[in-house]
Amino acid sequence: MDKQKKVNNQYISGTAVNRVKLNNNVNDYKQKKNNYMWNDFKDGISHGILVSNLAYSLAKAMKLEEAECYDLALAGLLHDIGKLELSQYLYGRNNDGLSIEEMKYMRMHSKLSYDLLLDYHYSDNLMETVLRHHECYDGSGYPDNLQGEEIPLGARIIRVVDEFAALIADRPYRKAFDIDTAVDIMIEEVKNMDMVVFITFQRMIHEPETLQLIEKSKIEINDIDLED
């Protein structure tokens, strides 16, 4: 009886230890996932601010009306909000970029952004810009493979500044490119863009005012605590 009791006590003790280990692992996983999503959130804010400021400046350079410029500034800030919805499902993605399966999920983000904003009564122009900002001029984009002037002008503007902003930012799988290299990369992929928009962007990007705008768009939010 004493021997059996000892065995049972060892079993209970071992089970308790395993539960503690499991709870610690679960808590560790949750903390890492929260930190991961928080980093995505911070990156999204930084990216959105730069895209917003560049979109407004490019729209002004293209002589758009002030209301259209304002819509594009707001669209630039909100265009990737759907990625935050996806972040929790893509936790743990590696530093080599997205897998094919992860890319399929990521391509849902423009539609998710559109759906998330539907209840907030933004203008049709802004909503279409958010939905279409990954359409490519040659028809190879998403979500609907629109091409040429089927794509709203606002989306064609965001398409250019969004790519530029992504290229000059650090990514888990690469360091940020300098401005000249980023523009060279964009030239190689220019079939994806409206040439009129891109040429206007090229003229604008090296102007002192634009370089200052890029610097001013960099915000430091690393000191914000996750618990705040």
Spot the catalytic one: 5, 33, 83, 111. 83
Angle at 196 between CA 125 and CA 64, to 5 degrees: 40
Report the Cα–Cα distance between both ends of the chain, in Å, rounded.
55
Residue 179 token pair: 């401005």
Helix, strand, coil shares, percent, the chain, to 5: 70, 0, 30
Joined tokens for residue 64: 């758009």
Specify burial of residue 123 (Cβ count, 10 A radius: 0-12, 13-18, 19+): middle
Contact 131, 143 (CB under 8 A): yes
- Are the C-beta atoms of residues 68 and 58 closer than 8 Å to each other? no
On the CB side of 126, how many CA atoms lie within 13 Å of its CA? 24
C-beta separation of 109 from 80 below 8 A: yes
Residue whose pair of structure tokens reads 């939905």 in the numeric block: 131
Amino acid in the structure at residue 74 = L
Is 216 marked active-site?
no
Report the catalytic residues.
Answer: 83
